[in-house]
Amino acid sequence: MSAYAIQVQNLGKMYKLFRRPSDRILDVFGLRKWLFWRKSAYQEFWALRNLNLDIRKGERVGIIGRNGAGKSTLLKIISGNVSPTEGAATVNGSIQALLEIGTGFHPEFTGRANIRASLALNGLSPAQIREKEEEIIDFAELEEFIEQPLKTYSSGMGARLAFSTATAIEPEILIIDEVLGAGDAYFSGKCVDRMKRLTRDSGATVLFVSHDLHSVQALCDRIVWIDRGVIRQDGEPLEVVKQYSAVVRREEEARLRARDLKVMKKQAVLLDRHEDIYDKLVFHFVRSGGGAPADAQCVRSLALFVGAEEVGRIDVGSPMDNSAEYQNYLMDDPGFMDWGPPRKDKRGSYREYKDLRGKFRHAPFEFAVPKTYLQGAVSRPMRLEVEADVSEDGVAVEVWNGKDYVRLGVCSPETAAHAFEITRRLLHPAEAIEAQAPGEVAAETLTPQAVETKSGEYGEGGARITAVRMLNSRGEDTRSFQVGESIDVVLEFEAFEELLNPVFVFCAYLPDGRCSSQWIATSEQMGRSRVLGKGRVTFHVDRLAMGRSAYVASAAIFKFLRSDGQEPQSYHVIDRAVHFQILQDLETSYEMGLCVQPARAELTDA
């Protein structure tokens, strides 16, 4: 008997995107091969490709990723609702899949009738149905509505009924795709406890997809991050969540910087549209001598750098490399462009730029760059890196400057790695750098420290936390403390520019990802309105009120406080990288949990 509940091997799913309904009809009936003179009328869109995943029996695995990453497609293939284009998904055990609210339920039937019909379809006898029925109603807490038609239920009530019914028969494999997001926090907590019990008592395997990272981290002992149809990371929940959060955070910081830029330009209306945040840079491959390429040119990857930071990458031939839903993508419209379909070999995925009789004889691609990065293009030059195998004929790379394509260079047949510098003068040849008005704040205010250095560190620069020390009641630098003990948390920092009333924060998180305690102090509260140079902030805790547990903490210097619960702009944040534990002594019995930890803060020079 296999130890694996689910085995996914080289899985791929391709959809054909047709330009006209008539082309779809011709393809369905197999008539296109008789119309050989007509150009290809569809794009190959790979939602998944080359995906491998093994899930052991009894594991609780969370799947995270942005909308459109391929998560639901994977679940539909595993549950048997969709057939793969290539590869295979092997399932060992019975499946209960909650992919949509109300799946399998009839809106005209009452809640009780839907319960009975669902259990009967799963092979339960009338006696077993009667036994499970009241348990389901009790868990869903729908006693007052159970005799009402399902169409009168709210989305949250429907989710409660669906989950309660699906888990009542203790399936061998339980698949849940975001349906719990419609329920309230109380019921979501009950669901997490029930799924834990299923894996503990019956050995069920749980596959849980959600955008609620706290719920995923609380339930799952392993998290898989899917991005653009491939597995980007698979591992321990905290580490995967940190990496995923860093990507989301970069997008949020780009939005905030764009808003700052609009404020500095005295624009009254603040919008968060994509075009307000990013500038589009369009590149293309063309034959260096003009016309269509004589031979097929193999392109494998494209990456755009600003300074030392990679701001965009396209893995050519990988799933969704042609999806305009992403910031960086290929333009492969059939009949217009000369990108070939996705291919793969021993070295990986690729596409060919070749003569496909495209109207424009080129192979274009687009990168979206935060506007503030382009503002700093003079001091932080951009660079396009291309991995491509070209023939003797060679291909040129050009960028659109708003009026014409400007040549960056030609790929050499002697190497697969090619790099092309992009200057501001190249992008804006007729534009002189505007002189700054007296007293006006410069649009580009980022310091050299503004580049993210590690996945666990981020911020806009201007200051940096150099060390975090935790001292016990004996003054020892340690990571183990007793409940009720006095401790000092010391944040050592250096401010590279004068900071106006910065905010210092130390935040401790529980193992399930929830914030247990935050210690916050502004420099003004500690007797200084301005901070410059080296210094340290010490949080003094007279009696530790946090319960016993292992914790992970973040330390940060923020620009200001926010009252809406969102994270403010930061000078520097060390994200969940300080690990410590609190032990229980013989005289106390605090359990781990949330608390308001009193702390005094003191600011001194280093």
Question: In this structure, are residues 329 and 366 in contact, taking their beta carbons and an 8 Å threshold?
Answer: yes
Q: Is position 487 within any domain?
A: yes
> Would residue 267 count as lying in a domain?
no
Q: Is residue 158 part of a domain?
A: yes
% pLDDT > 90, the chain: 39
pLDDT confidence of residue 547: 83
Tokens of 499: 């900071």
In which band, very low, low, confident or very high, does the pLDDT at 389 lie, cut at 50, 70 and 90?
very high
As a whole number of angstroms, the distance between CA 302 and CA 124 comes to: 55
Structural domain contains residue 346: yes
- pTM, 2 dp: 0.75
Question: What integer pLDDT is reported at residue 438 of this predicted model?
Answer: 33
- The dihedral region occupied by 176, where left means phi > 0, alpha psi between -120 and 50, and beta the remainder, is beta
Could you give the residue ranges of the DSSP H alpha helices within 428-556? none
Give yes or no for residue 224 having a pLDDT over 70.
Answer: yes
Cα(265)–Cα(205) distance, integer angstroms: 55
> What does the pLDDT average to over 556-576?
86
Show the DSSP H helices in 141-236 as ranges: 155-168, 185-197, 213-219
- Count: domains in the chain: 3
**Residue 129 lies inside a defined structural domain of this protein:** yes
What are the tokens at 99? 């992919």
Averaged pLDDT of the chain: 82
Strands (E), 391-443: 395-400, 405-410, 417-422
In a domain, 384, yes or no: yes
* Alpha-carbon separation of residue 163 from 74, 136, 449 (angstroms): 20, 9, 48
Which whole-number Å values give the CA distances from 196 to 99, 460, 518, in the listed order?
Answer: 19, 40, 29
Q: pLDDT tens across 49-107, in order? A: 999 999 999 999 999 998 889 998 999 999 888 999 999 999 998 888 776 555 668 88
Based on the fold, state whether residues 346 and 420 are members of the same structural domain.
yes
103 and 160 together in one domain: yes
CATH (domain of 113): 3.40.50.300
Q: Give pLDDT tens digits for 358-386.
A: 888 899 999 998 877 776 444 568 899 99
DSSP assigned state of 162: H
Q: How would residue 263 be classed by pLDDT, with cut points 50, 70 and 90?
A: very low
- In this structure, the answer to whether residues 385 and 472 fall within a common structural domain is no
Check residues 589 and 530 and name the one with the higher pLDDT: 530
**Is 509 in contact with 515 (CB distance < 8 Å)?**
yes
Please state, in angstroms and rounded to a whole number, the distance separating the CA atoms of residues 554 and 575: 5
Confidence of residue 31 (pLDDT cuts 50, 70, 90): low
Residue 441's pLDDT is 32
Same domain, 64 and 164: yes
Give me the CATH number covering residue 462: 2.70.50.60
Over the stretch 121-134, which tens digit does the pLDDT of each residue have?
878 889 989 889 98
Q: Which residues contact 371 (CB under 8 A, 6 or more apart)?
A: 257, 258, 261, 276, 277, 278, 279
In this structure, are 406 and 469 located in the same domain? no
Report the C-alpha gap between 537 and 576 in whole angstroms. 18
Give the residue with greater pLDDT, 99 vs 149.
Answer: 149
Domain assignment present for 438: no
The answer on 310 and 171 residing in a single domain is no
Q: 421 and 334, same structural domain?
A: yes
CB 387: neighbour CB atoms within 10 A? 20
Question: Could you report the per-residue pLDDT of 8-26, keeping only the tens digit for each?
Answer: 999 999 988 877 676 666 6
* Whole-angstrom distance, CA of residue 223 vs CA of residue 71: 13
The range of the structural domain enclosing residue 600 comes to 448-605
Q: Is residue 439 part of a domain?
A: no
92, two tokens: 């060992």
Please check the confidence at residue 357 and state whether its pLDDT lies above 90: no
H-state helical runs in 169-306: 185-197, 213-219, 237-264, 274-277
Q: In the beta sheet, which residues pair with residue 410? A: 396
Convert the pLDDT of each residue in 177-199 to its tens digit. Answer: 876 555 566 777 788 888 888 88
